Chains A and B, each alone.
Chain A
Amino acid sequence: MNKEQNKRSPQKPTFRKVLQKSALSFLAISPLLLGIIGLVGLFQVLVTPKMLATLFRGNGVIDTLIGTLAGATAAGNPVVSYLLGGELLNQGISLYAVSAFVISWVTLGLSHLPAEVEVFGGRFTLYRNILAFVFTMLIATLTTLTVQVLT
Chain B
Amino acid sequence: MKEQDKPFVFRGKYLLLIVLIFYGLLFIGNSQAAQLALQKSGKTLVNIVPILLMVILLTSLLNFFLQPQQVARHLGEESGGKGWFWALAAGVISHGPMYIWYPLLEDLRSHGMKDAFIVVFFASRTIKIPLLPMMIDYFGLAFTIVLSFYLLVGALIQGLILEILQPQNGN
B150 to chain A, nearest CB (A): 5
B71 at the interface (CB under 8 A from A): no
What 10 A-B pairs have minimum CB-CB distances, sorted nearest first?
Answer: A32-B12, A41-B41, A35-B15, A38-B19, A35-B16, A41-B37, A41-B40, A45-B37, A31-B16, A31-B12
Nearest A residue (CB) for B15: A35
Residues of A within 8 A of B10 (CB): 28, 30-31
A21 at the interface (CB under 8 A from B): yes
* Known contacts A19-B56, A22-B59, A124-B166, A32 near B119 by CB under 8 Å: no
| Assembly CA distance A27 to B10 (angstroms) | 8
Residues of A within 8 A of B45 (CB): 34, 37
B125 at the interface (CB under 8 A from A): yes
Contact A131 B119 (CB under 8 A): yes
Show 23 residue pairs from A and B whose CB-CB distance is below 8 angstroms, ordered by the A residue.
A18-B63, A22-B57, A22-B59, A22-B63, A24-B8, A26-B59, A31-B11, A34-B45, A37-B48, A39-B19, A44-B37, A46-B37, A82-B139, A103-B126, A106-B98, A120-B109, A128-B158, A131-B158, A131-B161, A132-B122, A147-B142, A147-B143, A150-B142
Contact A151 B142 (CB under 8 A): yes
| Assembly CA distance A23 to B12 (angstroms) | 17
Picked from A95, A107, A115, the residue with its CB within 8 Å of the CB of B102 is A115
| Assembly CA distance A131 to B98 (angstroms) | 16
B89 at the interface (CB under 8 A from A): no
Interface residue count on the A side (C-beta < 8 Å): 70
Q: What is B's interface to A at a CB cutoff of 8 Å?
A: 1, 3, 8-13, 15-16, 18-20, 22-23, 26, 33, 36-42, 44-45, 48, 52, 55-57, 59-60, 63-64, 97-100, 102-103, 105-107, 109, 115, 118-119, 122-123, 125-126, 128, 131, 134-135, 138-140, 142-143, 146-147, 150-151, 154, 157-158, 161-162, 165-166, 170-171
| Assembly CA distance A36 to B16 (angstroms) | 8
| Assembly CA distance A123 to B91 (angstroms) | 22
A92 at the interface (CB under 8 A from B): no
Picked from B56, B102, B109, B135, the residue with its CB within 8 Å of the CB of A82 is B135
Contact B119 A86 (CB under 8 A): no
Contact A18 B1 (CB under 8 A): yes
Residues of B within 8 A of A25 (CB): 59, 103, 107
Contact A15 B103 (CB under 8 A): no
Q: What is A's interface to B at a CB cutoff of 8 Å?
A: 10-11, 13, 15, 18-19, 21-42, 44-46, 76, 78-79, 82-83, 85-86, 89, 95, 98-99, 102-103, 106-107, 109, 112, 114-116, 118-121, 123-124, 127-128, 131-132, 135, 138-139, 142-143, 146-147, 150-151
| Assembly CA distance A102 to B44 (angstroms) | 20
Q: A26-B55, A115-B12, A120-B102 are in contact. List 11 more A-B contacts (CB 8 A).
A: A18-B60, A22-B60, A29-B102, A31-B15, A35-B19, A37-B44, A41-B41, A103-B126, A107-B126, A118-B15, A124-B115
Picked from B103, B135, B162, the residue with its CB within 8 Å of the CB of A131 is B162
